Structure 1
C-alpha cells in the first residue's frame, strides 16, 4: 500500500509531466492555396513535427505560394516555408521577384517533391501548343504564387507575354473549376502531381495537356538549367496523350538565424520518418532524402547536424 505522502508525490510528478508535454511551441509553415500540392504536403510535415519533435507543434498556413513564402519567412510572419529551389536562390541574391525585398538569408531544411508546370485545357479545345494561347483567357494561380514567373518564361519562349493573354489570378482549385465551366480557356498550375485540383476538374470535363511548340522545350532546358523535363503519363489524369512539362525541385526552408535545435528537431521529425510521410502524402514518394545535400542554397546548421549523424 502507498502512503499518502507517496501518493501526493506521484500525483504532483504526473501533473508536472503532463504540463511539460502539453506546453509546446507553435510553429507556422507557409504552404500555398488549397488545390495544389504545397498545402497537403505542409499538412503532412506539420503532423510529423507535432508528433515527433518534442516541445514543438506545427500548423499549416494558406499563403499565395512559392514566391510569397520566402518573403513571409524573411519577415518572420511564418517560421518555415515551402518554395522551389530556383526561387530560393533568387531570394538569397535579392533579384527577380525579390529585387524590392533585398538580399535574404534563407537556409534549407531539406528537399521535397518536384513540381511540374501543368498547362491544361479542355480536350475539345483548339489550343494545341503554348503559341495558341494568344488572345485566350488563362488562369495563372494566385497572385504571388510560383506559377506566374514560370508562366512568363514559358510564354516568352513562344514570343508571348502576359499582355498577349487575359490573365486570371485564382487559386488552383478555382482556376480548374473555371476551366471546367468554360470561363477560362486554359489553366497553368505549378504543382506536384497528381494535383487534386486537376483530378477534381477531370471528373466533370475531359482535359489535355498543352504542348510546347517544336523546339521550345529543348530551348527551355538550355536556358533554365534548374528545370527538368517531366513526362506525365496518360493514366495520371486519364488523358488521351501524355503531357510534357517542365519541373523544378521544391524545398523546406527557414531563415539563417532560425534556432539550431529547432531546425534539427524538424529535420529529424520529417526525414527520419519517411515511411510515415509517404503514408500521409503521396508526393512524399518522390522525395530522395540524400538530394537535400544537392540543393542550391546552404543547409541550416541544425540540418547539417542531422545528416552528419
Structure 2
C-alpha cells in the first residue's frame, strides 16, 4: 500500500505539472523573473517616495513587478546588490565609486564590489546641515563639541558628514556622534537630543519640511573657503544651493554642496531587463512629480562614477568615469565600456 500511495502521489504531481504546461505556466521561473527587488532608503528621505513613483512608471510600461523596500540607503544598498538581494537600488555616486574601487569607506577597503554597475544618475543630493534657529550654530566650525546626528550608521549621509567635518578640522573625537534616520533626526532636533543633523537628499526633504512647521530651523551654510576646501578634497562633491522658501522660515538661498543620486544594479542582471527598465523610466520621466526637473536622459551620465551595465550602455553608450590613480587618492579618468577595471 505504501508503494501504491507513493505512485498515486507521483502521478498526481506529474498530472499537475502537465496541466500547468498546458495552461502556459510550465516555466515557473518566468513569473519569478518578472518580479524585481528595488532597494530605496528611509521613508523620511527622497529615495523611498521617488522609488515608488518609478515603480508605477515601470509597471505601467513593462511586464515587471517592482518590490520597493525601505533601507538604510547607499552603503546598505550596495551590500544588497552585491549579495543578490536587490536587482536595482538608489545610491550616491561617491558611495558607488568607493564600493567599486574598494576604497574610501572602511566597509569597502580591500573589498571592492566589482559586480556593481551603473544604470543612470538622476539628480543632485543636497547636503543639509540642519539645526534649530536658537542653537547658536551658524557655521560648520560651531559643530565642534556639539552632539551631531551624522545619519544612519554606514549610510552615505554618514560618509559625507564625516568627510565634510574632517575637511574643516573636526574629527569624531571632537563631537558626540549620533546615528539615526532622517525622520529620527528631526525628532532628535525637536526634542533637544542633538544640536544638529546632517541630512542628504534632494530638496525638499519631508522630514525637514515637517520639522520646519513646528520649529524655527536654520540650515548651516557651506560656503566660501570651507566649500572650496571640501570641493578640492573630494571631487565627487559639486556646488549646490537650497533655494529660499524651500523650507518654512528659510528665507534666503543657502549655499552648500551635493553629490548625485544614481540607479545602480548588479553585473549578472539580464541586459534586456536593465534596458527595459531604463527605457521605461526615461521614456516616461515626464510623469514624475519628484525631482522631475532634474531627471532626463540628457543628464543621465552626469557624475557617473562606475561602469555602466551593458543594458544601460545600449541606451546611453559608454561613459568616462573617475578611477583612483595608483598609490594615492587622486583620481584620474578612464573610459569604461563593457570591460571592468579595478
TM-score category (smaller protein): 0.7 to 0.9
User: Residues 182 and 241 of structure 1: is their aligned pair in 2 closer, same or farther, counting only changes over 3 Å?
Assistant: farther
Q: Within 2, Cα distance between the matches of 1:71 and 1:23?
A: 25
Q: Does 1:65 align with 2:59?
A: no
Question: Of 133, 158, 170, which residue of structure 2 is paired with 1:160?
Answer: 170
Q: Does 1:44 align with 2:53?
A: yes
Q: Within 1, Cα distance between the matches of 2:225 and 2:37?
A: 43
* Preserved CA contact (<8 Å) 1:33 1:142: no
Q: Which residue of 2 aligns with 1:122?
A: 132
* Preserved CA contact (<8 Å) 1:121 1:187: yes
Q: How many residues align?
A: 288
Q: Which residue of 1 aligns with 2:204?
A: 194
* 1:4-37 alpha-carbon deviations (Å, 9 max, x no partner): xxxxxxxxxxx879xx9x9562111111111011
* Preserved CA contact (<8 Å) 1:112 1:284: no
Query: Residue 208 of structure 2 aligns to a residue in which SS?
Result: helix
User: Residues 188 and 293 of structure 1: is their aligned pair in 2 closer, same or farther, counting only changes over 3 Å?
Assistant: closer
Q: Within 1, Cα distance between the matches of 2:54 and 2:110?
A: 30
Question: Of 236, 242, 246, which residue of structure 1 is paired with 2:257?
Answer: 246
| Structure 2 unaligned spans of 5+ | 1-22, 318-342
The farther-off stretch of 138-147 and 125-134 is 138-147
Q: Does 1:302 align with 2:311?
A: yes
Q: TM-score, normalised by structure 2?
A: 0.79
* 1:192-223 alpha-carbon deviations (Å, 9 max, x no partner): 11000000100100111112375111111122
Matching of residues 132-171 of structure 1 within 5 Å: 132-171=142-181
Point out which structure has higher relative CO (alpha carbons under 8 A, 6+ apart). 1
Q: Which residue of 2 aligns with 1:11?
A: none
* 1:93-134 alpha-carbon deviations (Å, 9 max, x no partner): 111221153342221111212101100111112111011111
The farther-off stretch of 205-214 and 246-255 is 205-214
Q: Which residue of 1 aligns with 2:121?
A: 111
Q: Within 1, Cα distance between the matches of 2:40 and 2:172?
A: 25
Root mean square deviation of aligned Cα: 2.1
Q: Within 2, Cα distance between the matches of 1:254 and 1:264?
A: 12
Q: TM-score, normalised by structure 1?
A: 0.87
Greater Cα radius of gyration, structure 1 or 2: 2
